[in-house]
Amino acid sequence: MKTEFSLAQLADPDIREADKILRACVHCGFCTATCPTYVLLGDELDSPRGRIYLIKDMLENDRAPTEEVVKHIDRCLSCLACMTTCPSGVNYMHLVDQARVKVEEEYARPLSERFLRGVLAVVLPRPGLFRVSMMAARLARPFAALIPSSAKHGVTPTFLDRLRAMLALAPGKLPAPGPSGGKVFPAEGQKRGRVALLQGCAQQVLSPGINQAAIRLLTRNGIEVVLVADEQCCGSLTHHMGRDGDALARAKANIEVWTKEIERGGLDAIIVTTSGCGTTIKDYGYMLREDKAFAAKAARISALAKDVTEYVASIDIAWPQSKSDLVVAYHSACSLQHGQKITQLPKELLSKSGFVVKDVPESHLCCGSAGTYNILQPDIAKRLRERKIANIASTKPDIISAGNIGCMVQIGSVEGAGGTSVPVVHTIELLDWATGGPRPDLLTGSMKGPRFGSA
Ligand code: SF4
Ligand code: SF4
């Protein structure tokens, strides 16, 4: 694609980067076929190619984002399916991230929307606040049905539509909190490695059992696990809202505490059990590339970041000899398959664990979760969830496995929110169960795991 940035514009490293990305696009349109919003809405401006044109026009002319441009950028899930499909290697992620920052800085959203986005940006990354807000949302949930819905296909949702969606996602009850930062879980037997495990923000409130399963599996196999003190939310949630000041501050704080931990006891990896966070931490090196004080440290941290399945695949595990007849539909989170290009590994590990693994049709299409998307764009998110659940149901699974808490909430059994009744369990919980850990809470007593029967 031909670009026309001036030399003065190209002096800005972000514009230089945008120019490089835009020039790689040959407008072939292959990406449109796999873009969930184009598949649903059929509007070129809701396709990757359409958005690329809108962003190009906005950046080249140094124009403030218009309502129309914001509408189409907001509808993008940042699922990155377009990056998987693109034959020219267009880095749409870095382009849309830049556009979102411009929107956040230069576009005056309606007051109610600014308020809601502000609340999400403050609450979601803080587990304590998030826990309190989930308890309040649980109390308010019975009234969600009374909130009038104006949600119509193709119309920008109102504040009330979003409030309704937010309440519907609140879980019926919250589990007890897991271990806090500053704890070290020693390796059992001979120590073969040492890793930090990202504690996360929303996940540690909604499903602390995920990280507990990871700790059990890793320590049982000779890996010491550290929950680093003073770690923060990875910044992913605010990064995708265009709030780069917040996201970069969180990235830097994490880089500092992880770097200190490397100097103190060494780390072979920083393990992430929420693939949305993993994609962002693996991008810290890029996000801080122009920051002289942090660029090298950020690149080092990004290189150490590993999805938990990547790391488990790299160590020796005693896989069970027996098989289970439990059918597991593997839901491939966008951040894992498109963001981190991890597609086969989780399925291979589940197969080695003795489960019958099924691929989900249209697995490249997002489930509609996408960080705060299911709150901010409830109509599109709901349609994507329904499509995903129908595709999953066609495999007739006993269990759904996923590697991202956002997807688990979106397609899981949140009463009244249209989720599936099939239990949605994190991949690491199944791997832990199959190799000696307890049965995940969501699975019924009659389900027999590969190694330990109904244990
Ligand atoms: S597939 Fe890639 S090169 Fe083709 S239009 Fe989409 S982004 Fe551009
Ligand atoms: S990130 Fe997803 S929703 Fe956004 S343009 Fe690419 S494929 Fe479409």
pLDDT-above-90 percentage for the chain: 81
Asked if pLDDT for residue 158 goes beyond 90, the answer is no
> Which bound ligand lies closest to the C-alpha atom of 85?
1
- Ligand 2 centre to CA of 234 (Å) is 22
- Ligand 1 centre to CA of 96 (Å) is 14
What average pLDDT score do residues 54-58 get?
Answer: 97
Atom nearest to 24 CA in ligand 1: 3
Contact (Cβ atoms closer than 8 angstroms) between residue 397 and residue 327: yes
Confidence (pLDDT) at 159: 80
- Ligand 2 centre to CA of 134 (Å) is 29
Lowest-confidence pick of 232-241, 338-347, 443-452: 443-452
pLDDT band at 424 (very low <50, low <70, confident <90, very high): very high
Q: Is the CB of 49 under 6 A from ligand 1?
A: yes
Asked if pLDDT for residue 154 goes beyond 80, the answer is no
The sheet carrying 305-307 orders its strands as 184-185, 223-226, 193-197, 269-272, 305-307
Atom nearest to 1 CA in ligand 1: 8
For 346-383, what is each residue's pLDDT tens digit?
Answer: 999 999 999 999 999 999 999 999 889 988 999 999 99
Residues in CB range of 382: below 8 A, 6 or more apart:
151, 165, 368, 374, 418
Confidence (pLDDT) at 160: 82
The string of DSSP codes covering 81-140 is HHHHH-TT---HHHHHHHHHHHHHHH----HHHHHHHHHHHHHTT-HHHHHHHHHHHHHH
Which has the closest alpha carbon to 271: 229, 305, 241, 235? 305
Distances (CA, A) of 395 to 328, 358, 385: 9, 7, 16
CATH code that applies to domain 319-434: 3.40.50.1860
User: How far is 271 from 106, CA to CA, in rounded Å?
Assistant: 36
Nearest CA to ligand 1 atom 1: 86
Asked if pLDDT for residue 449 goes beyond 80, the answer is no
User: How far is 408 from 152, CA to CA, in rounded Å?
Assistant: 25
> Which bound ligand lies closest to the C-alpha atom of 370?
2
pLDDT band at 151 (very low <50, low <70, confident <90, very high): low
> Which bound ligand lies closest to the C-alpha atom of 51?
2
Atom nearest to 92 CA in ligand 1: 7
Considering only residues 271 and 171, tell me which one the structure prediction assigns the higher pLDDT. Answer: 271
Q: Alpha-carbon Rg of the chain, whole angstroms?
A: 22
User: How far is 285 from 375, CA to CA, in rounded Å?
Assistant: 29
Task: Say if residue 421 is exposed, middle or buried (CB neighbours under 10 Å; 0-12, 13-18, 19+).
Answer: exposed
- Ligand 2 centre to CA of 31 (Å) is 8
Q: Cα angle at 219 between 180 and 329, to 5 degrees?
A: 90
Please state the length of the chain: 455
Confidence (pLDDT) at 162: 85
- Ligand 1 centre to CA of 349 (Å) is 33
Confidence (pLDDT) at 455: 42
CB atoms within 10 A of CB 438: 16
Domain ranges of the chain: 7-106, 111-169, 184-313, 319-434
The sheet carrying 327-330 orders its strands as 356-359, 327-330, 399-402, 424-426
User: How far is 355 from 418, CA to CA, in rounded Å?
Assistant: 27
SS3 63: coil
Nearest CA to ligand 2 atom 5: 48
Nearest CA to ligand 1 atom 4: 28
pLDDT band at 14 (very low <50, low <70, confident <90, very high): very high
Residues in CB range of 353: below 8 A, 6 or more apart:
319, 320, 430, 431, 434, 435, 450
Q: Is the CB of 21 under 6 A from ligand 1?
A: no
> Which bound ligand lies closest to the C-alpha atom of 1?
1
Q: Cα angle at 292 between 290 and 293, to 5 degrees?
A: 130
pLDDT band at 453 (very low <50, low <70, confident <90, very high): very low
The helix, strand and coil proportions of the chain, stated in percent and rounded to the nearest 5, come to 50, 10, 40
Confidence (pLDDT) at 431: 97
CATH architecture of 184-313: Up-down Bundle (1.20)
- Ligand 1 centre to CA of 50 (Å) is 10
User: How far is 176 from 178, CA to CA, in rounded Å?
Assistant: 7
Residue to substitute in 34, 76, 86 for testing ligand 1 pocket (most ligand atoms within 8 angstroms of CB):
86
Confidence (pLDDT) at 74: 97
CA 441 to chain centre: 22
- Ligand 1 centre to CA of 256 (Å) is 37
Confidence (pLDDT) at 452: 52
Asked if pLDDT for residue 415 goes beyond 70, the answer is no
Contact (Cβ atoms closer than 8 angstroms) between residue 333 and residue 276: yes
Q: Is the CB of 79 under 6 A from ligand 2?
A: yes
Q: Is the CB of 380 under 6 A from ligand 1?
A: no
Atom nearest to 85 CA in ligand 2: 7
Residues in CB range of 215: below 8 A, 6 or more apart:
179, 185, 197, 225
Averaged pLDDT score across all residues of the chain: 93
> Which bound ligand lies closest to the C-alpha atom of 34?
2
Where are the alpha helices (H) located in 266-402, listed in sequence order? Answer: 275-281, 284-287, 295-304, 308-314, 334, 345-352, 373-376, 378-393
Q: Which two tokens stand for residue 27?
A: 């407008």
> Which bound ligand lies closest to the C-alpha atom of 279?
2
H or E element in which residue 36 lies: helix 36-41
Confidence (pLDDT) at 414: 57
Q: Is the CB of 414 under 6 A from ligand 2?
A: no
Asked if pLDDT for residue 50 goes beyond 50, the answer is yes
Atom nearest to 27 CA in ligand 1: 5
Multiple choice CATH, 7-106, 3.40.50.2300, 1.10.1060.10, 1.20.950.20, 3.20.20.60? 1.10.1060.10
Q: What is the DSSP letter of 187?
A: P
Contact (Cβ atoms closer than 8 angstroms) between residue 302 and residue 262: no
Lowest-confidence pick of 107-111, 131-135, 353-357: 131-135
pTM as predicted = 0.94
pLDDT band at 279 (very low <50, low <70, confident <90, very high): very high
Nearest CA to ligand 2 atom 4: 76
For 288-318, what is each residue's pLDDT tens digit?
Answer: 999 999 999 999 999 999 999 999 999 999 8
